[in-house]
Structure 1
Amino acid sequence: MNQEQYRHFANKLAFETDPADVRIELESGECDFVLLDARSREAYAGGHLPGAVSLPYREISAESTAAFDKNRLIVTYCWSPACNAAAKAGLRLSELGFAVKEMFGGVEYWQKEGGQLHS
């Protein structure tokens, strides 16, 4: 086994997820994470993943996350692979002591994989 490659992919999976894995968790009824929409409140109102909370990355602070459980994983997402709001949210949440994963592909790939949006 190539240890360098192994560490690379293990590190990726420690901090990233995808729409299919999120959907499986949501549909299982045993979802163990908070799904956070890091886009603007307007974008969230226009359609978001089921169960997601809206917290635009620019608004993330100790005050805005005070009700969040630091023992619970937060999965961030934004619009698409071309959007970095989810990564910015992950950075801010990490600075505040939360465990975070980014859902790659965002809303765009959620829909491409057949996921529906809620309004």
Structure 2
Amino acid sequence: MSGSAVLQFPPPSASQGARWLHEKLSHYTDAWDLAQDLANGIREIIVLDVRSTEQYLAGHICGAISFPHRTMTHESLLPLDRDKVYVTYCDGIGCNGSTKGAWKLASAGLRVKELIGGLDFWLRDGHPLVQGEEAGRWPTQSRARDCGC
């Protein structure tokens, strides 16, 4: 190729690309899409904050349930609803807690997605947090701005 660093490795065919990108979107969600579903009261998803209990108490996504990945065991995952899709998150891209939690959930036969960028990207997008033990509810008016995507 013409010395292009981008084209040093040619892109896949359109059909290969479409399959791979579909697969990628099947594994992840972003803050904007999650916020939209929470605001719309979508009940098929459950958001799990997989950080420590102390971090959860300091601030978590509205409606998220505290379930630290370090406490996830075969036994502790048994009561979870197999009909739901779980969205795991941790601090952000420098933390792999959401991946560890997602792996444990998937290994237990549950459907799961990870939140891209975790709490860091959630806050960057201007979405609300709740403090304390309660999961909290989505506010009637969110301060989040449209991401333009």
What is the TM-score normalised by the length of structure 2? 0.76
Match of residue 117 from structure 2: 105
Shift of 1:63: 2.1
Q: Does 1:14 align with 2:26?
A: yes
Distance 1:92 1:102 in 2: 12
Q: Aligned residues, how many?
A: 119
Q: Which ranges in structure 1 are unaligned for 5 or more consecutive residues? A: none
Give runs of aligned pairs for residues 1-119 of structure 1, distance below 5 A: 2-119=14-131
Compare relative contact order (CA 8 Å, sep 6+) and give the higher one, 1 or 2: 1
3-state SS in 2 of match to 1:63: helix
Quote the sequence identity (%). 34
Structure showing greater radius of gyration is 2
3-state SS in 1 of match to 2:129: coil
What is the TM-score normalised by the length of structure 1? 0.95
Q: Which ranges in structure 2 are unaligned for 5 or more consecutive residues? A: 1-12, 132-149
Shift of 1:85: 0.4
